[in-house]
Chains A and B, each alone.
Chain A
Amino acid sequence: MSDRASAVLRHAVPPLRRLLPQVLLGLAAGLSTVALLAASAWLIVRAAEQPPVLYLSLGVVGVRAFALGRAVFRYLERLAGHDAAFQQLAAIRTGVFERLLPIAPDGLAATRRGDLLTRFVGDVDELQSVSLRIVQPVVSAVVVVVVAIAGLAWLAPASALAAAGCLVAGVIVAIVAQQVIAARADRRLAPLRGELQAAVVEHVQALDVLVAFDAAAPGRARIRRLGERLEQAIRRRASAAGITAAAMSAVGGFAAAASMWAAEPLLAGGRIDAPTFAVLCLVPLAIAEVSAALPSAMGFIRVVRTSAERIADAVPDAIPGGVPLPPRAPVELPTGLGAPALRLRGVSARWPHVAGADDSHGGESWGEDSSIAPADLGALDLDIEPGERLLVEGPSGSGKTTLAHVLVRFLEYEGSYRLGGAEVRDLDPIEVRRIVGLVEQRPWLFDEDIRQNLLFARDTASDEELLAVLARVGLKGWVVERGGLGAPVGERGALVSGGQAQRIALARAMLADFPVLVLDEPTASVDPDRADALLRDLLTAAGPDRSVVLISHTGAPRELIDRAISVEPSPSSPVLQYDA
């Protein structure tokens, strides 16, 4: 495991004061389990010797107390453990988030590819199992087993040695089976599972095409074959995982037999009495039950280690090249001038290489214009005058999105990019983003109501202002129809269409009142025949004083724009300019 993954794991362990209660409670529960069986065995065998009842009363009380204690301690332990784990979750999440901030968004695979996002967030949340399922059970089980074995040793050292030998052997077999064999099988399983899942999704989504082209039956046969291969791999893994279960199940019986055989000479020699002998024979069963927690905790180590390694990869220590760094002494931007002019001279930019962004398709390349790694931007000269409407055209792979990210200072650039006369490299990136705003290709809508989705752009805005800005982007009727500003937008904007999402995003940008606005492919997720209407509404709503950079590969009605440029794929970067 890499050092950085270990560091991630160390941060996930709660501080001692929060860890201690659950460990102590787990200890009490485990000791009660062992003591219950010991006390019961002692009670029964001692009773068979028919002493006066008074001699048994301690055993009777003990049996009842341990029975009650085991259930109560276990309940409290689970509560304390979960509480501590959730408290640590806040620390884990904020810790990871604070490390994300300097490299976000473009140095971060998770925000670049949606399918990685859920996995990344799941990995972070997985770390709460570190205390709950690993540290606490292991510490409790080890201490209980050691104390119980020490107790046996006090009664009969040979028994303790024999039982301990069996337990250690059993636990080692169980852990090795899990760590080595099952881990190897797991590694084979993950890609097979992914392949099957991808095949099923593709098949179902394209089912009408497959049926229309008589290709559904072969597709189904392929999925069946994948399923059979997965079943074989699962069976191999089950055989390995079964060894763990089998070893832990057998170990109790073997340890009991070993302890008995070692204690028998003491009984025959009269050095221990019959009740003690019974305790020595039965207690190993309870110890084995407690130590069964160890292999399952080891299984969780494997899970969280994978998560920790992925997090360590996704959040690099060093800020990757291509992500802009804030300058040590930022220059103040001259203010109060409305929209400043933007002057780009020989600006080129490339996307940071990001681990995890391209690890999931088996090394195959789908070509340069795949959506995973946006294209580099070649040397570009560009002037944007205050209040100008500029259309940036160009085929896929010419770096249009890259240009948008340079303009809002998500990406580092080479060459010169001046904003109102100041070199952008010398400005605080947050200041740049106060001037230049971006409406993204797929704007993120938060799973709240429309009001909350607008308010975070300007939290002092009144409902009247919000409705006014919605009216400007042509959404007022729609919002009223939906029941007002309190209408939900759904998870990832599931309840609104692509065009409506763009309009909401634009409304947000207008509330923030950016003097320069970059629209990145606003019609990408809109039916082709509705695209022009959307563009018309967006550009009209932006008003006459704002500079607008419209990025679109399908173009725009010429009467809406002042000027158009075309970017060509890098490295050759002839920029064709013409007047609209």
Chain B
Amino acid sequence: MKPLDPRLVSRSRAARGFLLSGAALALLQAGAMIAFAWSLTALVTGFIGGASTAASGGALAILLAAASVRALAGWLWEWVGSAGAMRVKSELRDDLLAALERQPRGNRGLTTARAATLLGPGLDALDEYFGRYLPQLVLTVVATPVLVISVWMADWVSGLILVIVLPLIPLFMALIGMATGAVQRRQWQRLESLSKGFLEVVGGLSTLMVFGRAERQVGRIRDVTEAYRASTMKVLRVTFLSGFTLELAGSLSVALVAVSIGLRLVAGDFTLAPGLFVLVLAPEVFLPIRNVGAAFHASTAGLEASRDALDALDQAEGAEVPPSRGADPAGITDAAGLRIRDLRVIRDGAVVLEGLSFDVAPGEFVVVTGDSGSGKSSLLSAILGFADLEGEVTIDGVPVGAATRSNTSWAGQAPQLLAGTIAENVRLGQPDAAASLLEHALRVGGVDLPGHRRLGPSGAGLSGGQAQRVATARAVHRLLAADARLLLLDEPSSALDADRELELGRRLRELAREGRAVLVTTHRPGLAEAADRTVPLSEVARV
């Protein structure tokens, strides 16, 4: 497994900055440790040799300075790690959001639901990754060799012991991982389902009460938790083995180094000062790699998160909705309004609409009818340029796509309102339009709530019918404020009573009379009666 996704380094300026400043900090930290070990050794051997405190002031100053520099480096690590995580996250989020706009409906690999998880909790795994794992990894890569070299220079035997033991750690951990990996994965999967047990009981409490089953859940919770404990402990016994290996390698090599130095000192072929220096430095050599092992979990989560984000980014940037084909510029330049010829829409590999042809001229109010699943929403998606399509769809002669969107206004079947006031929602994209337009749009939409009423996230606080009317008003507002040519409404009357439906039909007729093309889908007869023309989708386009 790679410790760091190379794409992250090549793409993210913040990630490169983090690695560079981290390497510099690691060198600083290694230098401080060596200075600390040297000055401590000099002081202890000096005093044992009979030096006075007065003569040792210089070494003491170095000792305290080295301890302070090390502390400062620790402080800077904290700062560099969390700031780095934040910057990398911001960069990835911004890039991914921009890339998603090319396919606002998402695609099979990257649905909007997945994108939302990826951009929220998904990226948060990078906090630990940058804050804990990568700093220790950089330290291991940069500082550990420096420390080993300085130990070697003081005493090559100790250096050799370290050089032999250090590579054994990753080797043993890999062996443990290989021997137990399959068992562990199986166990983790089981754990995931067990850990949800309590959530299920609390979440389903009202359902359990309806069926008189709530009281007996206490025993069930105890059983599930006990099963959870038993299987978690099975996993942990193995998982902690790698920690044990790290700990053992570290403490045993300190013991090896100390005993070897001691025996050579007794024999008289070694001196005290380098011996003490090595003893102080040896545990520090193992510290970063021990911390890497401890933060291993953070690394897998972080790596997965960055890989997911980068994959999604590659995918989103690679995808581009093809412009409507067959847009033969010679034949259609003068066609005013919406023109559809032999339209075929493919969603997730399946044909959802085929062989559809019709026009909506400026000044016309056309209703598309059809049962659920007959492809009404797919038709509107295609006109908005959000769908993969074959055939010809043009607005005033221009093939649909980003270029025609400024000429189109639309309200989908789901209202999709945003946090903010009703007025802010209605003026989406046109925040500076005249107030009279807002009033007018609210009236056409049939919104009987004040514009300053505040909505929660995703429009929380309105009933389904109210939200739908606000969404209709929003589309009408854009039509008027941006002077768009085409209005598309998807089932605007599904939650309206008969009177309101009639009223909406009348208002839409008025809008059409002003020279705009109006296309509405519905499965109810009320709107169809008000329209100039009805296109029954089920007969034309069913595959």
A contacts, CB < 8 Å to B: 36-37, 39-41, 43-48, 50-51, 53, 56, 59-60, 63-64, 66-68, 70-72, 74-75, 78-79, 82-83, 86-87, 89-90, 93-94, 97-98, 100-101, 104-105, 108, 110-111, 114, 117-118, 120-121, 124-125, 197-198, 200-216, 220, 223-224, 227-228, 230-231, 234-235, 237-239, 241-243, 245-247, 249-250, 252-254, 256-257, 260-261, 264, 267-268, 274, 277-278, 281-282, 285, 361, 364-367, 369-371, 395-397, 408, 410, 430, 433-434, 437-438, 440, 443-444, 446-447, 456-457, 491-492, 508-509, 512, 527-530, 553-554
A-B contact count (CB 8 A): 400
Other-chain contact of A231, B70, B87, B283, B416 (Cβ < 8 Å)? B87
Q: Which chain B residues border A395 with CB–CB below 8 Å? A: 463
Sorted nearest first, the 10 A-B pairs with minimum C-beta distance are A253-B67, A366-B461, A242-B78, A213-B429, A86-B229, A105-B206, A396-B463, A250-B71, A242-B75, A67-B255
Q: Which chain B residues border A48 with CB–CB below 8 Å? A: 265, 271-272, 275
Instruction: Report the nearest A residue to B522, measured CB to CB.
Output: A529
Number of chain B residues close to chain A: CB under 8 A: 138
The minimal Cβ–Cβ distance linking A378 to chain B, given in whole angstroms, is 18
Q: Is the CB of A433 within 8 A of B210?
A: yes
Q: Tell me if B202 is interfacial: C-beta within 8 Å of chain A.
A: yes
Give the CA-CA distance A105 to B237 in the complex, in Å.
39
Instruction: Report the nearest B residue to A280, measured CB to CB.
Output: B44
Most chain B CB inside 10 Å of its own CB: which residue of A48, A212, A371: A212
The minimal Cβ–Cβ distance linking B79 to chain A, given in whole angstroms, is 5
Q: Is the CB of A215 within 8 A of B461?
A: no
Most chain A CB inside 10 Å of its own CB: which residue of B89, B101, B261: B101
Q: Which chain B residues border A512 with CB–CB below 8 Å? A: 211
Q: Is the CB of A94 within 8 A of B416?
A: no
Q: Tell me if B34 is interfacial: C-beta within 8 Å of chain A.
A: no
Contact with A along B61-78 (1 / 0, CB 8 A): 001101110111011111
Q: Which chain B residues border A50 with CB–CB below 8 Å? A: 265-266, 268
Q: Tell me if B280 is interfacial: C-beta within 8 Å of chain A.
A: yes
B contacts, CB < 8 Å to A: 36, 40, 43-44, 47-48, 50, 52-53, 60, 63-64, 66-68, 70-72, 74-79, 81-83, 86-87, 89-90, 93-94, 97-98, 100-101, 104-105, 112, 115-116, 119-120, 193, 195-196, 198-215, 217-218, 221-222, 225-226, 228-229, 232-233, 236-237, 240-241, 243-244, 247-248, 251-252, 254-255, 258-259, 261-263, 265-266, 268, 271-272, 275-276, 279-280, 283, 371-372, 384, 386, 405-406, 408-410, 412, 416-419, 428-430, 453-458, 460-463, 465-466, 474, 478, 482, 491, 494-495, 523
Instruction: Report the nearest B residue to A260, measured CB to CB.
Output: B43
Give the CA-CA distance A243 to B87 in the complex, in Å.
22
Other-chain contact of A44, B97, B218, B275 (Cβ < 8 Å)? B275
Q: Is the CB of A200 within 8 A of B120?
A: yes
Instruction: Report the nearest A residue to B210, measured CB to CB.
Output: A438
Give the CA-CA distance A529 to B495 in the complex, in Å.
11
The minimal Cβ–Cβ distance linking A351 to chain B, given in whole angstroms, is 14
Q: Is the CB of A210 within 8 A of B265?
A: no
The minimal Cβ–Cβ distance linking B384 to chain A, given in whole angstroms, is 6
Q: Which chain B residues border A456 with CB–CB below 8 Å? A: 208, 211, 213
Instruction: Report the nearest A residue to B228, measured CB to CB.
Output: A86
Q: Is the CB of B258 within 8 A of A43?
A: yes
The minimal Cβ–Cβ distance linking A510 to chain B, given in whole angstroms, is 12
Give the CA-CA distance A522 to B101 in the complex, in Å.
36
Q: Which chain A residues border B417 with CB–CB below 8 Å? A: 206
Q: Is the CB of A224 within 8 A of B196?
A: no
Q: Is the CB of B204 within 8 A of A79?
A: no
Q: Is the CB of B418 within 8 A of A434?
A: no
The minimal Cβ–Cβ distance linking B100 to chain A, given in whole angstroms, is 6
- The secondary-structure label for the interface of chain A is helix
Q: Is the CB of A213 within 8 A of B478?
A: yes
Other-chain contact of A235, B82, B218, B251, B409 (Cβ < 8 Å)? B82
Q: Is the CB of B454 within 8 A of A366?
A: yes
Q: Which chain A residues border B275 with CB–CB below 8 Å? A: 44, 48
Q: Which chain A residues border B371 with CB–CB below 8 Å? A: 529
Q: Is the CB of A210 within 8 A of B218?
A: no
Q: Would you mind naming 16 contact pairs between A and B with Cβ atoms under 8 Å apart? A: A43-B258, A43-B262, A44-B262, A60-B259, A64-B259, A98-B218, A201-B457, A207-B105, A215-B429, A257-B43, A261-B60, A264-B47, A364-B454, A369-B463, A437-B211, A447-B200
Q: Is the CB of B198 within 8 A of A253?
A: no
The minimal Cβ–Cβ distance linking A245 to chain B, given in whole angstroms, is 4
Q: Is the CB of B247 within 8 A of A277?
A: no
Instruction: Report the nearest A residue to B86, measured CB to CB.
Output: A231
The minimal Cβ–Cβ distance linking B168 to chain A, given in whole angstroms, is 14
Give the CA-CA distance A60 to B416 in the complex, in Å.
74
Q: Is the CB of B206 within 8 A of A104?
A: yes
Q: Is the CB of B225 within 8 A of A67?
A: no
Q: Is the CB of B66 within 8 A of A253?
A: yes
The minimal Cβ–Cβ distance linking B192 to chain A, given in whole angstroms, is 10
Q: Check A366/B460 contact, CB under 8 A, given A253-B64, A277-B48, A528-B494.
A: yes
Q: Is the CB of B428 within 8 A of A209?
A: yes
Q: Check A47/B105 contact, CB under 8 A, given A90-B221, A227-B90, A245-B74.
A: no
Q: Which chain A residues border B40 with CB–CB below 8 Å? A: 253, 256, 281-282
Q: Is the CB of B460 within 8 A of A82?
A: no
Give the CA-CA distance A361 to B268 in the complex, in Å.
75
Give the CA-CA distance A379 to B263 in the complex, in Å.
94
Q: Check A528/B252 contact, CB under 8 A, given A75-B243, A366-B454, A366-B460.
A: no
Q: Is the CB of A249 within 8 A of B71?
A: yes
Q: Is the CB of B207 within 8 A of A440?
A: yes
Q: Check A121/B198 contact, CB under 8 A, given A44-B279, A74-B244.
A: yes
Q: Is the CB of B428 within 8 A of A234?
A: no
Q: Is the CB of B523 within 8 A of A529?
A: yes
The minimal Cβ–Cβ distance linking A367 to chain B, given in whole angstroms, is 5
